[in-house]
Amino acid sequence: MMKKITPDTLEAVIEHTEAMHKQTGVLLNVSLELDQVYAENKHKDELISQLSDDIEKATDQINDLKTALSEEQNDNSEKEEEIQKLKSTTEELLHDIKERDETIAKLTGNKNEPINFDEFAKKFITIKSSDVIEFLPEEDQKKLGQLLDIIAEGRKEAGKQAHNQYLTINVDEAYSNQVANMMKAHNHYN
């Protein structure tokens, strides 16, 4: 036999069904939210994994850059040392050139001033080296040098300039000009 459904029972069934429907909706919403959270977490995990990979690559690149920078600094240090050496060499060369120019200036003297070669010639005893070698034995050649030293020493002791007489060997006119101008530059001319 079948039981009769009363309106109260029907209403209770409807209420129960509605409550179940609401719970199903809530559970469905919770399930959807859980799926969304899971998807977001999965996406976050993927992002974290990607970021971790990117950080690792960036760290490798930074290390490579540090190595390259260190090598560049070493190269720059070596280049700086080379530059300093070149500067030093340049300064030495400039100093040598300056000394050479000063020597040339002393040798050539002031070419605008005329030189009285008659008076200048009185300051020199001119002996050709070939004559010294040809006509003086080796022992006398040494004595000649010693005699000149003795004369210079005597002049010093007498309070005079040690070398007021000049001995020139193998003098040609161009060299005589240079010697004369050099003597003028050092106040030995008069």
Q: How far apart are CA 72 and CA 152, in angstroms?
A: 65
Return the C-alpha torsion angle 57, 59, 62, 67, nearest 10.
-100
Residue type, 179: V
Higher local confidence (pLDDT), 88 or 184: 88
| b/e sequence 112-124, b meaning 16+ C-beta within 10 Å | eeebeeeebeebb
Contact 183, 189 (CB under 8 A): yes
Structure tokens at 179: 């010697």
Tell me: pLDDT of 181 over 90. Answer: no
Q: What is the pLDDT of residue 184?
A: 67
pLDDT bracket for residue 90 (50, 70, 90) = very high
22-33 pLDDT, tens digit per residue, is 888 888 888 889
Nearest CA-CA partner of 167 in 110, 130, 137, 127: 127
Tell me: pLDDT of 104 over 70. Answer: yes
Beta strand residue intervals within the chain, DSSP E: 124-127, 166-169
Q: How far apart are CA 133 and CA 156, in angstroms?
A: 29
Q: What is the pLDDT of residue 167?
A: 59
Q: What is the pLDDT of residue 114?
A: 64
Burial (CB < 10 A; 0-12, 13-18, 19+), residue 127, is: middle
**CB neighbour list of residue 169: distance below 8 Å, 6 or more residues apart:** 126, 127, 128, 129, 132
Q: What is the pLDDT of residue 188?
A: 58
Q: What radius of gyration, in Å, describes the C-alpha atoms of the chain?
A: 56
54-85 pLDDT, tens digit per residue, is 999 999 999 999 999 999 999 888 999 999 99
111-119's contacts with Cβ under 8 Å and 24+ in sequence apart are: 111/181, 113/184, 115/177, 115/180, 115/181, 115/184, 117/176, 117/180
